[in-house]
Amino acid sequence: MSETNFEANLEARANLFKALGHSVRLLILNLVRIKPRHGEELAAILRLNPATISHHLAKLTDAGLLQARKDQYYQMYTLNTEHVGKTLADLIHLPQPEISSGVEQDAYRFKVLKTFFRHGRLVQLPAQLKKRLVVLEKIAESFEPRREYSEREVNHILLDFNDDVASLRRGLIEHKLMARSKGIYRKMV
């Protein structure tokens, strides 16, 4: 799905809610639910200019909440029950793949990595936990799963990122990205 489609779909959903997001329009829906009505009648009841009512009716009709049919002079509006049975969840929830195609969910991660890495080297270990975690997870990718590492081997790999290997080692253990047992290091799942 193209980004344009994604945005159009999103905008369409938002428009349904926008149509409902006005007290006059909620009243119109309730009045029309009781019985079909025409614009002039609604204007009289709600004490608004017929042109204003006409705008509201157009929005409700565009959103598929009302149906209009001709009856003599009058455009009679009736409630369209197609949408009103749906739950908010139905109308809010976008499928995951669609979200991913529309926005970069890892943007925060990328931003943190961009901030703290320069030419592949770690400029500084972030003080904030959430950012430190992002950085350490990145570094942990350099270790293979299920393989055993001696401390010398660990240090050798970490040295590529930063001279303060002790802090990096401690961070990896602390955040449970690696485990140490009898001097042997192993990457966690």
Partner DNA sequence: TATTTAATTTGACAATTATCAAATCAAATA
Partner DNA sequence: TATTTGATTTGATAATTGTCAAATTAAATA
Residue 117 touching DNA (CB under 7 A): no
Calpha distance 32→66 (Å, rounded)? 9
Select 7 or 160, whichever has its Cβ closest to a second copy.
7
Which residues on neighbouring strands pair with residue 76, listed in sequence order? 38, 69
128 is written with which tokens?
């904030």
Residue 23 Cβ vs DNA, minimum distance, rounded to whole Å: 8
Identify what 107 binds: DNA, a second copy, none; CB under 5 to 8 Å per kind: a second copy
Query: Which of 181, 109, 177 is CA-nearest to residue 143?
Result: 177
The sheet carrying 37-38 orders its strands as 37-38, 74-79, 66-71
Residue 58 touching DNA (CB under 7 A): yes
Distance between start and end Cα atoms, the chain: 33
Residue 181 touching DNA (CB under 7 A): no
Residue 174 Cβ vs a second copy, minimum distance, rounded to whole Å: 15
Binding site for DNA (CB under 7 A): 18, 21-22, 24, 38-40, 48-52, 54-59, 68, 70, 72-75, 126-129, 131
